[in-house]
Amino acid sequence: MLLRSLLAAVVTTIALAAPSLAQQSGRELYERRCASCHGPDGAGREGLGPSLTGAGAAAADYQLRTGRMPLQNPQAQAVRKPSVFSEEETRLLVSFVASLGEGPPIPSVDPGAGDLSSGQSLFIANCAACHGAGGNGGAVGNNAAAPSLYASEPQTMAEAMVSGPGQMPVFGFSEQERNDIIAFISYLQTSEAPGGIDIGGTGPVPEGFVGWFFGLTGLVMVLVLLVGTGSSRAR
Amino acid sequence: MIRYVESRLGLDSWGRRALRKVFPDHWSFLIGEIALFCFIILVATGTFLTLFYRPDAAVVTYEGPYEPLRGQEVSAAFDSVMRLSFEVRAGLVMRQIHHWAALVFVASTVVHMCRVFFTGAFRRPRELNWIVGFTMLMLALGLGFTGYSLPDDLLSGTGLRIGYSALISIPFAGPYIASLAFGGEFPTENVISRLFVLHVMLLPGLTIALLGAHLAILWRQKHTQYRGPGRSESNVVGKGLWPYQALLSLGVMALTAAVLALMGGLVQINPIWLYGPFDATTVSAPSQPDWYMGWLDGATRLFPPWEPTVFGVTIPSMFLPAVLLPGLFFTVVALWPFIERRLTNDAAEHHLLDSPRDEPGRTALGVAGLLFFTVLTLAGGNDLIALTLDIQVESMTRFFRLAMFVVPPVGGALAYRICRQLRDSREHPLGRGSGVVLRRTEQGGFEEVPRS
């Protein structure tokens, strides 16, 4: 009797003290795929990966769903690629990273509630400097590039804004402002470019190339072919 | 009918002679015509745009069909360009043709000038026409810059702001000139209407006047021509105005119009709706000017931010790259016929053109100048090139700083050597006439001797 109650007490304490099953397998996954760079307890490793103790679920979800983590080369900028994890594994990893410390949770998004016009001005004022007015991406210095936004999902956009990945700053927008911006980026993604072929949408540099190498060079080539070097002889 | 007009106006013999006027029939003489036809297309499409454009900085609320801007406060100028782009029938295609034509216009003007430069067509008696042509290039740049600024979008506002800071950087007079030109401190309400007057009246008017002078002088002085059998300093070999040259020119015009219409119809240019209305506090990152201003942008990106103090006056860092550099460059270009005459002591009249190889020194200088210009232009897009090639922007800038000093002299020296070798080889690049002639020997056979 005594033995049984003792046993029961032990079992309950173990059950209460031990991490939940989900966290357990989240930790396992983490140790296998992430600890080499971010350290076994998420404190980070010099030159390999930053500390994740303040990263939060938003950062983890962003990095994992866009396939950026696990990184292959810690020196190079993380880029979007297909995710290596299943939906279930992603969720486990995200909640494990979130459990490492205080960090922004996954923000909720509702692009339908966004206001396009406010989104356009917020985007131009805050995002266009790096991602370009058309969202086609641009260089930001320090060997980093702001990627094109044409592949991003609304969820990713919101997470990028609250977690500030890589060289991107954290933006303290209200939920409404985030939805406005997301509505505008989604508009860019789905609307057809008025005026014909969108040549990179990055303005006068590609336009100059087309003007020279299609426009003028094309014209001159035709003239060279048709007129040539002249055949007239003196009479 | 024609005879009727001719006899009344006494144009009989003049007209007949005019129809027989001889034009050289080498393709390179047609590049100037491309520029001319681009200009005509610019005037035509520009007239259409003027019907709908409002040079007005008053603030209105955008209510048009482009959703992301609806409800925003924009200038009436911006609003009218949005209306042109989305509501006026054929407005967008006209805008796009106009903008493409402007890019190709300046490009063909530059290439035409290169042809004249490298073949020595500017030499006496044509120095005057070189200066007229050069002035037209300046007007073209002015037209381009003012036109680029008219939509009053974010990108053009950024361009204007840079223009303003370039003006203000001139020591002593800068602030006065800038405030005079802009009617106050940037941004002002006056600037749009001033740019408009410049863009649709003053600059095109001057261009048309100079164009008339350019062609009249050309007509009077007759064409230059390349060397060739039967061609001398005192004749012009080619085809008559009627029918050959007239039909050819019509063809060039149709071709130019076709290519520009194709580009305007198929390829997006200057999507101002993406940039949004001008707002003095915002800059969108890849903010570059049109290509012909890109070299100045590149120069300001490459020059270190020195602010030397001379005679107690601090020279703003914009002054060297954005005012002094183009000032010197353009002065040399404008005065080149006189500079070259000084250098070579050759004051004779020339109607036969040089092949670029015949004057290695001039060719080398021209190549070096073009390379300098090209390096600066590319540097103006350094962030985009860095992105495309996946290279750090900072290393791009360092590379261009080096290239600015290394590439032009190396390219020039290379051009010099190639010219010398070609000249010594006596072989014509176009394959006309080989370097040898056959001579009958006394025994009745043939032998090859180098052409003398």
Segment among A153-162, B13-22, B78-87 with least mean pLDDT? B13-22
**Residue numbers in B near A133 (CB within 8 A):** 154-155, 274-276, 284
Number of other CB atoms surrounding residue A228 within 10 Å:
12
The overall average pLDDT reported for chain B is 88
pLDDT top residue among B105 and B167: B105
In this prediction, residue A233 carries a pLDDT of 58
B93 with B214, same domain? Answer: yes
In this prediction, residue B214 carries a pLDDT of 96
Distance CA B222, CA B19 (A): 14
Listed ranges A216-220, B94-98, B430-434; the one with the highest mean pLDDT = B94-98
Nearest CA among B268, B255, B273, B259 for reference residue B96:
B268
Please state the rounded mean pLDDT for residues B11-23.
77
Question: Which 8-state DSSP code applies to residue A98?
Answer: H
| HSE, side-chain direction, 13 A CA sphere, residue A19 | 13
Q: Tell me the sheet residues that pair with B438.
A: B448
Is B337 inside any structural domain? no
B294 with B413, same domain? Answer: no
Q: Is some CB atom of chain A closer than 8 A to the CB atom of B24?
A: yes
Predicted complex: ipTM over 0.90: no
B389 with B264, same domain? Answer: no
Q: Which of residues 168-227 of B touch A (CB under 8 A)?
A: 226
B325 with B361, same domain? Answer: no
Interface contact B25-A227, CB threshold 8 A: yes
Is B345 inside any structural domain? no
B281 with B412, same domain? Answer: no
Interface contact A205-B384, CB threshold 8 A: yes
- Return all residues near B312 (Cβ < 8 A) that are at least 6 apart: none
Interface contact B286-A130, CB threshold 8 A: no
| pLDDT interval class at B396 (50, 70, 90) | confident
Of B283, B284, B387, the CB nearest to A145: B387
So what CATH class is A14-103? Answer: mainly alpha
Taking CA A164 as the corner, what is the angle to CA A158 and CA A167, rounded to the nearest 5 degrees?
135
Per-residue pLDDT of B307-317, as tens digits, reads: 878 777 778 88
Residue B92 has pLDDT above 50, yes or no: yes
In this prediction, residue A73 carries a pLDDT of 86
**Residue numbers in A near B298 (CB within 8 A):** none
Q: What number of helices (H) and strands (E) belong to chain B?
A: 18, 8
In this prediction, residue A16 carries a pLDDT of 44
Q: Which domain holds residue B405?
A: 355-452
B182 with B259, same domain? Answer: yes
Place of tokens 């070299």: B295
Distance CA B43, CA B51 (A): 13
B303 with B410, same domain? Answer: no
End-to-end CA distance of chain B: 55
B290 with B404, same domain? Answer: no
Interface contact A195-B96, CB threshold 8 A: yes
So where are chain A's domains? Answer: 14-103, 107-206
Contact A122, A180 (CB under 8 A): yes
**Total CB pairs under 8 A between chain A and B:** 206
Per-residue pLDDT of B64-74, as tens digits, reads: 999 999 999 99
Is B368 inside any structural domain? yes
Nearest CA among A129, A133, A205 for reference residue A168:
A129
B228 with B359, same domain? Answer: no
Distance CA B429, CA B363 (A): 15
Is B310 inside any structural domain? yes
Averages of pLDDT over each 10 residues, chain A, 235 residues: 54 48 79 92 89 92 94 88 92 93 92 93 91 85 84 95 93 95 95 79 82 91 83 57
Residue B347 has pLDDT above 80, yes or no: yes
B87 with B138, same domain? Answer: yes
Please state the rounded mean pLDDT for residues B379-390.
81
Work out how many domains chain B is built from and give that number.
2
Shortest CA gap B239–chain A (Å): 7
Of B34, B271, B285, the CB nearest to A129: B285
Is B67 inside any structural domain? yes
Please state the rounded mean pLDDT for residues B184-198.
86
Is B386 inside any structural domain? yes
Q: State the CATH number of the domain containing residue B53.
A: 1.20.810.10
Of B92, B107, B259, the CB nearest to A195: B92
- pTM, rounded to two decimals: 0.89
Is B179 inside any structural domain? yes
B109 with B173, same domain? Answer: yes
**Best residue of B108, B387, B432 to probe chain A, by most A CBs closer than 10 Å:** B387
Which ranges of chain A does DSSP label H, i.e. alpha helix?
A: 2-17, 21-33, 35-38, 56-65, 87-98, 116-126, 128-131, 154-163, 175-190, 204-210, 217-227
**Best residue of A186, A219, A233 to probe chain B, by most B CBs closer than 10 Å:** A219
β-strand pairing of B73-75 with B313-314: unpaired
**Residue numbers in A near B115 (CB within 8 A):** none
B361 with B323, same domain? Answer: no
Interface contact B284-A133, CB threshold 8 A: yes
Of A138, A196, A226, the CB nearest to B267: A196
Q: Which fold would CATH assign to domain A107-206?
A: Cytochrome Bc1 Complex; Chain D, domain 2 (1.10.760)
End-to-end CA distance of chain A: 130
Q: Which of residues 302-361 of B touch A (CB under 8 A)?
A: none
Q: Is some CB atom of chain A closer than 8 A to the CB atom of B26?
A: yes
**Residue numbers in A near B155 (CB within 8 A):** 133, 203-204
In this prediction, residue B152 carries a pLDDT of 92
Whether the ω angle into residue B409 lies within 30 degrees of 0, i.e. cis, is no
In this prediction, residue B167 carries a pLDDT of 87
**Residue numbers in B near A184 (CB within 8 A):** 68
Residue B351 has pLDDT above 80, yes or no: yes
